[in-house]
């Protein structure tokens, strides 16, 4: 059976998180959705994600998120946040918070750092954090970068895709997901007037045929010039 996960973005639409050069709630939702998309389209992963649109107090928000996680069948909980300290043009970096998942947290932090150039602040144990303490499956909380570090935000913007890919890669490895192979040719065929048929293959959603075969199918004369790598087709009068 495929192991499942639950991912969520920190805070809620009405109880916002950190905000400076970027807005934590908006960005956490983007990262959460993209990691989920990669895990379910580029890997054979399964799970669900949650964003809190309704809570109006911090307690309500924390409980709403954790309740959602605890109601699902899953083997791993992950949450996306962005950090904040004070406005700076210095680099701050990525860190991953955990209750007892130190190894996984270290791997995720290192992978994000390697992919993006964000400084690797590494794994940090935070047993008092509501999310980590109250989700009863293994959980990690990823602080992607600092919203108030210009350098971090620049690296985050430039590397959004590779950051999400790096997170997905480590989570997939942890949950035992396999990468879905693309580019495997599938047999297909081309038919002319529902009668004559030539073979084709579909690679990455595109149908490929031999030029010579389609030329013959259409009654065209083919002349190939190897030097100029040009295939010339002539209508036969």
Is position 45 an interface residue for Zn ion (rule: CB under 5 A)? no
* Candidate list 5, 6, 8, 10; residue touching Zn ion; CB under 5 A: 10
User: What is the per-residue binding string for Zn ion in 16-35, x denoting contact by CB under 5 A?
Assistant: -x------------------
H/E stretch holding 69: helix 58-71
Of the pair 28, 168, the CB lying nearest Zn ion is at 28
Q: Give CA–CA dist 127/101, Å, rounded.
A: 11
Max Cα–Cα distance, the chain, nearest Å: 84
Of the pair 7, 10, the CB lying nearest Zn ion is at 10
Q: Nearest approach, Cβ of 109 to Zn ion (angstroms)? A: 16
Place of tokens 């054979």: 44
Phi-psi region of 127 (alpha: psi -120 to 50; beta: other; left: phi over 0): alpha
Sign of CA dihedral 45, 47, 52, 58: negative
In the window 157-196, what residues touch Zn ion (CB under 5 A)?
none
Q: Nearest approach, Cβ of 80 to Zn ion (angstroms)? A: 9
Do residues 107 and 140 make contact, with C-beta atoms less than 8 angstroms apart?
no
User: What is the per-residue binding string for Zn ion in 71-110, x denoting contact by CB under 5 A?
Assistant: ----------x-----------------------------
Of the pair 10, 47, the CB lying nearest Zn ion is at 10
H/E stretch holding 140: strand 139-146
Q: Give CA–CA dist 217/208, Å, rounded.
A: 15
Q: Nearest approach, Cβ of 11 to Zn ion (angstroms)? A: 6
Is position 123 an interface residue for Zn ion (rule: CB under 5 A)? no
Residues in contact with Zn ion by CB under 5 A are 10, 17, 81
């Amino acid at each position: 059976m495929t192991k499942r996960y639950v991912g969520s973005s920190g805070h809620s639409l009405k109880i916002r998180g950190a905000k400076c050069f970027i807005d934590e709630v908006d960005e956490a939702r983007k990262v959460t959705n993209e990691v989920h998309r990669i895990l379910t389209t580029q890997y054979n992963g399964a799970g669900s994600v949650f964003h809190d649109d309704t809570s109006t107090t911090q307690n309500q928000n924390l409980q709403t998120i954790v309740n959602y996680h605890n109601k699902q069948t899953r083997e791993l909980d992950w949450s996306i946040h962005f950090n904040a300290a004070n406005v700076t043009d210095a680099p701050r970096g990525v860190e991953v918070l955990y209750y007892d998942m130190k190894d996984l947290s270290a791997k995720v932090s290192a992978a994000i750092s390697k992919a993006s150039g964000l400084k690797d602040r590494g794994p940090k144990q935070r047993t008092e954090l509501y999310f980590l303490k109250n989700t009863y499956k293994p959980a990690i909380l990823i602080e992607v970068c600092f919203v108030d570090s210009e350098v971090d935000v620049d690296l985050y913007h430039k590397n959004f895709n590779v950051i999400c890919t790096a997170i997905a890669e480590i989570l997939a490895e942890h949950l035992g997901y396999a990468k879905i192979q693309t580019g495997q040719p599938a047999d297909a065929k081309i038919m002319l007037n529902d009668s004559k048929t030539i073979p084709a293959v579909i690679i990455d959603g595109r149908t490929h045929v031999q030029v010579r075969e389609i030329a013959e199918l259409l009654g065209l004369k083919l002349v190939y010039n190897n030097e100029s790598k040009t295939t010339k087709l002539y209508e036969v009068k």
